[in-house]
Amino acid sequence: MVEVNLPDSIKGYIKFREYGIGVEKTDSIPISNGKCIFKYTYRENPTCLSMYVLGNYERGKAGEIWMKNPYEKEEGARAGTLFLDNSHAVIHFVPNIWTSYSCAYDSVKGSGDGRLEITFPDSVSGLVCSQKWFDYNLFPMDSARIVNGKCTFHYKTSDIPEEHLSFRLERTDASIIAETPIRSTWSSLLRNNTLIKANAIPKTSSSGIVGVVTGSPETDVNMQLTSEISGCRDQQGYITKDFIQKHRDSKLLFKTVSDNRNSYLSVDDFKTSLNLFSENLRQSPKGKELMNYIKEREEYDKYGVSRKFSYFDVNGKRYNLNDCLNGKQLCVVVFWASWCGPCLQEIPLLKEFYKEYKDRISMVSLSIDTDYKSWANKLKQDPVEWLSLSGLPKDQNKVKNDFGINSIPCFMVLDDKGKIIASQYILKGNQSRSLSLEDIKEIINQKIPR
């Protein structure tokens, strides 16, 4: 179950949205005495949960419920997804971080020396800073430390600037907002009142409210995976062996390694990572699927793609890899389709690229079109200098099946033995992204310098 603990000032309901493979459901549960509990059915494929307090524009109500990410540098770093991993997850409200404090106040009118007293909940500490907006920039004005739940500012009403004044907690995104009449601001309040006693109540609007989550191992793994400083990845962006060993039962981590399998240039590296997971995960349907993938990759590493590389142009002429290489050391493979808008937008860039590099590389476009006429008509409308092939008309799925293509446009770089030296996805830092033309230019300049 998931237990959410909120400040007493936040009332109403929490809307829980559970989603995942084949799952999309919502439930609204009332907040009772600052607590709300969501119970769920554990699934073989862990689902995700997002949470919202209903009525986020009403006083005392919050928007989305976030979770503090302890693996990030920034104090206000947060995550919005909780993984339902058959545990008892508890979320506690965190003061000072990414929230607001709405101030109801009493005031005494007058001029001369003034005093602003703000009382906070006991859990709030730190330095409150005043700032003024001028020429679209913030300038510090004054500060006061919270002592025993209260901070005090001393000022002269005549010294309050015309510019908009704001108050916030130091090193956080917690703003302190006066419940003023329409068009009234802290500036006008301080100019016209010698004593203001304000009571700060936790409140958030569309920015949401942040808590600390405990008791959810998969959520903890996810936070580390999305952090650039958690140390769970090596310099090349691959998940470290130590991290996998530490979380060998994590289904989320297993799925992450599986999703990035095409980014491993060596199948041995991928196999080593896979074998670090628990026996239960390796013997699961996904694990058995990955073992078949390893067998195919081992064949590719030994023979390259040359054994399967046999495709046709629009006239039905068959081409193998040597035909496409045409004596060059590298072959750039472009995966596309006539119905793919981004693919068609990329054609002018490909023409420029080929014009610049055709003396050093060969290039071939492989279409995943399923309709021969659509493919042939598009080539007739916008012909290219390099070879354009497919499995049509006999096998409309050959290209997809041979290369495991899931999305287009994408690229691959082959050497003259048919070995894959750059796959359709690469790892940069903690992110997996598509191989780009700029990446390919770097590879060409390294392998075949002018």
Assess whether the previous peptide bond of 181 is cis (omega < 30° from 0). Answer: no
Please count the residues of the chain.
450
Domain boundary among 214, 244, 273: 214
The CA-based dihedral angle spanning residues 137, 141, 146, 149, taken in that order and rounded to the nearest 10 degrees = -80
**The pLDDT value given to residue 160:** 87
- Whether residues 323 and 424 share a domain: the answer is yes
In a domain, 285, yes or no: yes
Q: Report residue 60's pLDDT band, with 50, 70 and 90 as the boundaries.
A: very low
Q: Residue 157: which CATH number?
A: 2.60.40
Domain count, the chain: 4
Residue range 134-168, pLDDT digits in tens: 777 778 889 999 999 899 999 998 888 888 888 98
In a domain, 143, yes or no: yes
Residue 430 has pLDDT above 90, yes or no: no
**Which of 68-82, 290-304, 307-321 shows the highest mean pLDDT?**
307-321
Q: State mean pLDDT over 375-393.
A: 94
In a domain, 219, yes or no: no
Average pLDDT over the chain, rounded to an integer = 85
Residue 431 has pLDDT above 70, yes or no: no
**The pLDDT value given to residue 96:** 47
Q: Please name which of 169, 160, 163, 166 lies closest in space to residue 178, comparing C-alpha atoms.
A: 166
CA pair distance 379, 374, nearest whole angstrom: 9
What percent of the chain shows pLDDT beyond 90?
44
- Whether residues 352 and 439 share a domain: the answer is yes
**The pLDDT value given to residue 55:** 56
Domain boundary among 303, 329, 347: 303
Which residue segment(s) compose the domain that 256 sits in? Answer: 231-303
- Whether residues 89 and 120 share a domain: the answer is no
**The pLDDT value given to residue 56:** 45
Residue range 13-57, pLDDT digits in tens: 889 999 988 889 999 999 888 899 999 888 877 899 999 887 544
Between the alpha carbon of residue 69 and those of residues 213, 230, 281, the distances in Å are 9, 10, 27
Residue range 212-253, pLDDT digits in tens: 899 999 999 999 998 878 889 888 788 999 999 999 999 999
**Which of 80-94, 130-144, 171-185, 238-252 shows the highest mean pLDDT?**
238-252
Q: Residue 406: which CATH number?
A: 3.40.30.10
In a domain, 223, yes or no: no
Helix, strand or coil, per DSSP, at residue 163 = coil
Lowest mean pLDDT among 93-97, 298-302, 351-355: 93-97
- Whether residues 151 and 123 share a domain: the answer is yes
In a domain, 422, yes or no: yes
In a domain, 225, yes or no: no
- Whether residues 327 and 256 share a domain: the answer is no
In a domain, 26, yes or no: yes
**The pLDDT value given to residue 154:** 93
- Whether residues 256 and 196 share a domain: the answer is no
- Whether residues 81 and 15 share a domain: the answer is yes
- Whether residues 23 and 34 share a domain: the answer is yes
In a domain, 222, yes or no: no
Burial code of 349-359, b = ≥16 C-beta within 10 A, e = fewer?
Answer: ebeebbeebee
- Whether residues 276 and 378 share a domain: the answer is no
- Whether residues 404 and 317 share a domain: the answer is yes
Residue range 371-381, pLDDT digits in tens: 999 999 999 99
Assess whether the previous peptide bond of 409 is cis (omega < 30° from 0). Answer: yes
Which tokens sit at 245? Answer: 């060993």
Q: What DSSP assignment string belongs to 367-436?
A: E--S-HHHHHHHHHHS--SSEEEBSTTT-TTHHHHHHT--SSSEEEEEETTS-EEE-SEEEETTEEEE--
**The pLDDT value given to residue 169:** 83
- Whether residues 196 and 254 share a domain: the answer is no
- Whether residues 271 and 350 share a domain: the answer is no
Between the alpha carbon of residue 59 and those of residues 11, 36, 176, 204, the distances in Å are 9, 19, 14, 9
